[in-house]
Amino acid sequence: MKTRLLSSFRRFAREDRGAVLVEFALVMPFMILVFALSIEAARMLWSYQSAITGVREASRYVARSVPGNICSTGGSLNAMSAQLKTMVERSIDGEILFPSAVTVNTVVPGLTCVDGNYRSGTVSIATVTANVTIDFPLRGILDMFGGGLGGVTTDIADQARIFGQ
């Protein structure tokens, strides 16, 4: 009985059928992790680039829609916050640009008046700053590997010279 058990064990140790399956089972979690991280990185970069484009378009809109003499008249851009937030979040057709994991928290317009020896005297510069939070939708897969990732919150700003209407 003992020799029979020993010979069975030796035969089992020499046998290599199923080794590929075991190797795949060991490597598969890392493959899933790399795949999930690749998708997350690509989605995050796309969302960030879309937010940059929205802020750039909002600052261009401000530069063309407010009067060119806003600095000399003492005007303000604060009333445009809601309209600019809509411009950053939505396309021209009114469609939401970002996936549900991306949130535009605030959009704040700013006005800077630069005095100097320019042809027009004082130069008006509009600044649009958006605070954006990007969450990770594949957080559940990444949590399996012990890396609980939270969202990323960042400010995106762009400036444009105000030329007026």
**102-148: pLDDT as tens digits:** 889 999 999 988 887 666 677 888 999 999 988 776 666 666 666 66
Q: Would you say residue 149 has pLDDT above 80?
A: no
CA distance 130 to 3: 76
Q: Would you say residue 94 has pLDDT above 70?
A: yes
Q: Is the dihedral of CA 76, 81, 82, 88 positive or negative?
A: positive
What is the pLDDT of the chain when averaged over all its residues? 83
35-69 per-position pLDDT tens digit = 877 887 888 888 888 888 889 999 999 999 888 88
Quick one: pLDDT at residue 108? 93
CA distance 58 to 83: 9
Please give the C-alpha separations between residue 112 and each of 56, 125, 130, in angstroms, as whole numbers: 17, 5, 17
CA distance 147 to 43: 18
Percent share of the chain, pLDDT over 90: 20
